Amino acid sequence: MRAYERDCAFCRLMKSLAFTGVGMGIGSGTAYLLGASQQNVIMSGIVVSAIIVFGMLDKNKKKNNKKNKRTR
């Protein structure tokens, strides 16, 4: 049994920071391996991390909406 709620603001912040780091690593690493310039490496990292973070947020919202509809 947990002593904390999983959907607290701090938990969501830490989760989004983790996914941002993973996305930045994946996007930047791929662009670097493809031989992109430094500016393009950073931009691709930002774009991939935004896609991952907002994709996970949208997935969680849809999941919570389905759960709320069932309990009504």
Domain limits, the chain = 22-67
Q: Residue type for 61, please?
A: K
User: What b/e string do you get for 31-53 counting C-beta neighbours within 10 Å, with b at 16 or more?
Assistant: beeeeeeeeebeebbeebbeebb
Q: Count other C-beta atoms under 10 Å from residue 23's C-beta.
A: 21
- Rounded Cα gap, residues 47 and 50, in angstroms: 5
pLDDT at 72: 58
Average pLDDT over residues 14-25: 88
Mean predicted lDDT score pLDDT of the chain: 82
| HSE value, Cβ hemisphere, 13 Å, CA-based, for 10 | 2
Average pLDDT over residues 28-45: 95
pLDDT at 15: 83
pLDDT at 4: 66
